[in-house]
Structure 1
Amino acid sequence: MTTLFPVGHYLGVRSEEGRPVHTVRIGWRQHRLSEDAFATWVLAHGLPANGRAAWTRAELVDQAEQVEISTPADHLQALTSDGLVAAVDDAEAFARHHRMGVFFVGLGNTPEELGQFAIGLPGLGPAATLDPDSYELWQWGSIAPSLWHSCELRASVTSRDDQSVSPQDAVTEILADLRILISHGCAYLDVVDPEGVRG
């Protein structure tokens, strides 16, 4: 099943010729998006209620139509062509060509929920409460050169004397954890080679 991930770091809204445009950076390049294109890009993040499940084109278009975005399928096609949305069929190739950045700070856990870890902003409360695997990816994924390096690390940590885990085994778990982070606005994706998108 093809799952969607948004790519890019949102830089905010600007006014150009009297109309608002939203700026999303990938590598060295800044993309300018109309309101409807930006709303479609935001919907590519998925919904927190979906948890780790794949986020599909049909689900995105359905959500877009519910909030009355005009021609969401056309916007999605343009965003995909520009690299602002990745339609992931090959998880390993996706992981090798993308890296992760993070937002917020760690807020820790509580005696009542020792196995759950909050991240957010001090004084404003948590943006998300994560399980240990998602929290580990949030903690360390942003210093890895690519998502694939995170897969290799998880495989090496998970492997035991009686069981060897490969990065290919770990990539599905990493992308599921990434889905949690992306849908809660705790992480963003960029490309591994920014020179390839300079323009």
Structure 2
Amino acid sequence: MLPVGHFAGPMFIAPDAVEPESYEVRYEDGVFSLSAAEYAVWALAHGDPDRVGSHRPTRQALTAEAEATGVTEPAVTIDALISDGLLALIEDEPAARRAFAERHQLMPLALGLGNQPSQLGVFQIGMPNTPRVSVGYDIYHMWLFCHRERTLWAAVQEIAGEAQEANDAAPAGDVELIADVDDLLAGLIEALPILLSTSCGFLDPRRPSPTSAPADDAAGSGDDGRGEDPAEDHEHGGDALVAQP
């Protein structure tokens, strides 16, 4: 279970307001205005950076955490967020991973901090002097370049092809890059929870095809009926909040 969209902050509409009117999540070319309960669940789906490596982000875990936070009927909220595309549930098998990658894109946040002489195969992502996460070369490379393609699947295919070309040209005995597209995708999806929880990246729906009108594209766009506020029909709640992911 992974969150989709880019957090844009709380929205206050009155100078004397005590609580925000909504919590904004940029999604494609529009914005969802979430209630406090919806935002709490969506934010919790990012996971705790200190625990996400050992606690996989499942629906069951998200439901339990939302209940503990004070969200009423979290299962209903989770279903609504899935329906809106703000949560994505991925089954652990190749076809499901491919389907997810064909519908989404990974956008990088933070800075690439490179590696160190003592750990040539470890690359850090974060802010200057404040690394947030350490990953291997393959994940680092995909994090850097996946956003250049329309879909995550197209990006991983391109990177797999480049890796195979590099392996073919490398001298015998050199360390080979991972060139199997399914292995690369599985590794990236395994790393997504830590990348999202540390705000080193965010998921977005795939970009519309340049050869078709945005409204005709399966991924949708700002012209798909959402307009500036694709969640304008949502009720605004007052449940307990969680920290910004």
Question: What is the TM-score when the length of structure 2 is the normalising length?
Answer: 0.69
SS in structure 2 opposite 1:69?
Answer: coil
Structure 1 segments, 4+ long, off by >4 Å, are 157-161
Q: Which residue of 2 aligns with 1:100?
A: 106
Aligned-partner residue type, residue 178 of structure 1: L
Cα distance, 1:108 vs structure 2 = 2.4
Q: Deviations over 1:108-143 (max 9, x none)?
A: 2233333222222225x1122222222112111222
Q: Deviations over 1:15-40 (max 9, x none)?
A: 14644111001111210012221121
What does 1:84-163 align with in structure 2 at a 5 Å threshold? Answer: 84-89=86-91, 90-123=96-129, 125-159=130-164
Aligned-partner residue type, residue 192 of structure 1: R
Q: Deviations over 1:51-73 (max 9, x none)?
A: 38752100111222233333222
SS in structure 1 opposite 2:89?
Answer: strand
Cα distance in structure 1, aligned partners of 2:36 and 2:24: 11
Aligned-partner residue type, residue 156 of structure 2: C
User: Are 2:198 and 1:197 equivalent residues in the alignment?
Assistant: no
Cα distance in structure 2, aligned partners of 1:165 and 1:104: 26
Question: What is the TM-score when the length of structure 1 is the normalising length?
Answer: 0.83
Cα distance, 1:44 vs structure 2 = 1.4
Cα distance in structure 2, aligned partners of 1:118 and 1:151: 20
Cα distance in structure 2, aligned partners of 1:145 and 1:185: 21
What does 1:20-39 align with in structure 2 at a 5 Å threshold? Answer: 20=20, 21-39=22-40
> How many matched pairs?
193
Larger helix fraction of residues: 1
Aligned-partner residue type, residue 147 of structure 1: L
Aligned-partner residue type, residue 63 of structure 1: E
Cα distance, 1:191 vs structure 2 = 1.1
Pair member with larger Rg: 2
RMSD: 2.5
Q: Which residue of 1 aligns with 2:7?
A: 10
User: Are 2:180 and 1:179 equivalent residues in the alignment?
Assistant: no
Q: Is the 8 A contact 1:151 1:174 kept in 2?
A: no
Larger strand fraction of residues: 1
Percent identity (aligned)? 34
Gaps (5+ residues) in structure 1? Answer: none
Gaps (5+ residues) in structure 2? Answer: 169-177, 209-213, 215-219, 227-245
Q: Is the 8 A contact 2:97 2:185 kept in 1?
A: yes
